[in-house]
Amino acid sequence: MRILAIETSCDETAITIVEASGDTSGATYMVLGDALYSQAHLHAEYGGVFPTLAKREHIKNLPLLLEQALKEAGEGSVDLIAVTAGPGLEPALWTGIEFATEVSKKWGVPAVGINHMEGHIVSALMRGDGTKYEIVGPELPLLALLISGGHTELVLMRDWFEYELIGRTKDDAVGEAFDKVARMLDLPYPGGSKVAALASERRATGASTSFTFPRPMIHDDTCDFSFSGLKTAVMYKLKAMPELTDDTRAEVAHAFEDATRDVLVEKTRRALEASGAETLAVGGGVSANSAIRKGLEELVRDTFPNVTLAYPNKFLTGDNAIMIAAAAHLRHAAGRITQEPLVARGSQSLSAKQR
Ligand code: KG4
Ligand code: ZN
């Protein structure tokens, strides 16, 4: 079946057209047309995503991206339209939903809402090269570590599309903490990947760090997270430094990344132990982080050798419409699409009933 997918939950506008086949036991996706526009550079001067600007840009770019994706995809009618319905910035989500509704009416094709975090889980399972992807049915239960700019959570999927929240952040999301530390280091938004780059360059030199930042909640008895104290500790450390040299910047990035990695790895260890999950799927923008990936790889190799670790390839770590198309296809194939009016739900959770 041919699916048109639309993603506008934050500051990426994305439209994709895929030819999908198979089901949750194994699926294939041919990317026929894919158009993505990142607004990040426009939000940089505000130091974060500015919702009104995001909305205006989505509205402006959606028709252009659709035209581009359709041109790439060539002849052939679409069977289903999938659009991110939440979680995300509500004004931004609405632009995608209104556009999907309009196209759905014009083409006489049904439009369905998809949960953005479900998209990130599915993205971890997709193997491919940007034009063709495959999913090999993962062993269940699957534990998802979802780490993005808005979310940090551990979610257990015992059966497809049945989610149980095992742990979540009590305050900042890990991506948000990376972005805030980036600002403290005078790195432009979105700074997460820039902090990571500084940290890995420094780590590659073999340098150690004498800064010891806290690992909030690492010893507590839950799978919940907290990153706000770590962010504040970085702020105090920087205030105490006479000047912000390149060396200090790199060392702060290194020590901060070590602290986040340790917390993520320890909480994932706890959740794997408690759940007996067979697959660990890591999704969301922060899943691009190589130190965190390495920490999770070591955890699985040393402590859970029977667990399969899955994370997205580099094309799919950030927000994209391909993961939304794949999630819609898997739901459709499993008869799990609910035909309800499309509504943006800014804080839609995975573990609540999918609406
Ligand atoms: O999933 P995503 O693209 O958007 C949301 O759904 O939030 O995640 C974006 C987040 C941002 O906070 C960004 O700074 C962070 O992912 N990020 C990273 C890296 N690449 C992106 N954080 C740490 N290390 C990276 N390499
Ligand atoms: Zn995301």
Tell me: pLDDT of 339 over 90: no
Question: How confident is the model over 40-54, as pLDDT tens digits?
Answer: 999 998 988 999 999
Is residue 355 scored above 70 in pLDDT?
no
89, 178, 180, 201: residue to mutate for ligand 1 pocket, most atoms within 8 A of CB: 178
Give the mean pLDDT of 245-256. Answer: 96
pLDDT value of position 94? 98
Closest CA to 215 of 180, 262, 254: 262
Q: Distance, CA 88 to ligand 1 centroid (Å)?
A: 14
Residue 286 CB less than 6 A away from ligand 1: yes
**CB 190 near ligand 1, within 6 Å:** yes
State the burial class of residue 314 (Cβ atoms within 10 Å of its Cβ: 0-12, 13-18, 19+). exposed
Ligand 2 midpoint to CA 244 (Å) = 31
pLDDT of 308 = 98
For residue 354, pLDDT over 60 is answered with: no
- The response to whether residue 318 sits with its C-beta less than 6 Å from ligand 1 reads yes
Residue from 36, 193, 320 to probe ligand 1 pocket by mutation (most atoms less than 8 Å from CB): 193
State whether the beta carbon of 87 lies less than 6 angstroms from ligand 1.
no
pLDDT digits (tens, 9 = 90+) for 203-235: 999 999 999 899 999 999 999 999 999 999 999
Provide, rounded to the nearest whole percent, the portion of the chain with pLDDT above 70: 99
Instruction: State pTM to two decimals.
Output: 0.97
Average pLDDT over residues 127-133: 96
Indicate if the pLDDT at residue 31 is higher than 50.
yes
For atom 2 of ligand 1, the residue with the nearest CA is: 285
Q: In this prediction, what percent of the chain has a pLDDT beyond 90? A: 95
Q: Summarize pLDDT for 231-250 with one digit per residue, the tens.
A: 999 999 999 998 999 999 99
Q: Tell me the two tokens of residue 253.
A: 């990035």
Report which bound ligand comes closest to the CA of 194: 1
Atom of ligand 1 nearest to the CA of 318: 3
CA-proximal residue: ligand 1, atom 3 (nearest): 318
Q: Does residue 115's CB lie within 6 angstroms of at least one atom of ligand 1? A: no
- Please determine, for residue 271, whether its predicted confidence score (pLDDT) is greater than 70: yes
